[in-house]
A and B are shown apart, each in its own frame.
Chain A
């Protein structure tokens, strides 16, 4: 069965410090992985995705994610956090079908304090 886990409900970092939001996955076949961000009362915004190739994927707003096949992880990172990065972050994996369905993790709240 395919699944995604975000082990932390909340991550707290100080502004200017690096941040990491963790994600691990379980899929059969090649993993197609996505990160989304959600601000309060808004829809999800696409940040980045891993399809193939370079294990370090760069995305919007200075975010990047590192794909690690051996650890089945796809952690989201940013070198220097901003207060405006405070939001709910979702990791997702594409299911192995042509329906385009995604399986989402439970989300991690990122709190960046000034």
Chain B
């Protein structure tokens, strides 16, 4: 069975500091991977997605970047955090390439920028 992990679970960072959030998937190969941000406990904003190693597509130009150094690892980064980067960050994966495949979510990382 597949599982998805995110860490850290909670993070408090000062403005201007760097960021690295990690997401890993187990039990599958070559998944599609996604980073979302959820602000104020409501809507989900797709930030990045990846269909393969080194392939990153950005949905919203902003202060963040993503990388996929390994097949099942997806990293969200920032060189200098802004207050507006605070939120709940969710990683997700799809196992398979069919449009009918389900997207599964990780437990999330709560980021607070002070």
Cα A12 to Cα B29 with chains together (Å): 42
B94-108 interface with A by 8 A CB criterion:
94, 97, 99-108
Contact indicator B94/A44 (Cβ below 8 Å): no
Give 1 or 0 for each of B37-75: 1 = CB within 8 Å of chain A CB: 000011110100101000001000000000000000000
**Among A43, A49, A88, contact of B105 (Cβ-Cβ < 8 Å):** A43
A20 within 8 A of B: no
B112 within 8 A of A: no
Interface size on B, residues (CB 8 A): 27
Count how many pairs of residues, one from A and one from B, have CB atoms less than 8 Å apart in the complex. 64
A44 to chain B, nearest CB (A): 4
Contact indicator A34/B102 (Cβ below 8 Å): yes
A12 to chain B, nearest CB (A): 18
Chain A: number of interface residues, binned into ranges: 20 to 34
Residues of B with C-beta under 8 A to A45 = 105
**Among B6, B32, B42, B102, contact of A99 (Cβ-Cβ < 8 Å):** B32
Given A88-B41, A96-B99, A101–B49 Cβ distance below 8 Å? yes
Contact indicator A43/B102 (Cβ below 8 Å): no
A38 to chain B, nearest CB (A): 8
B10 to chain A, nearest CB (A): 9
**Among B6, B46, B102, contact of A101 (Cβ-Cβ < 8 Å):** B46
Contact indicator B32/A44 (Cβ below 8 Å): no
Cα A63 to Cα B110 with chains together (Å): 28
Residues of A with C-beta under 8 A to B43 = 104-107
B2-21 interface with A by 8 A CB criterion:
6
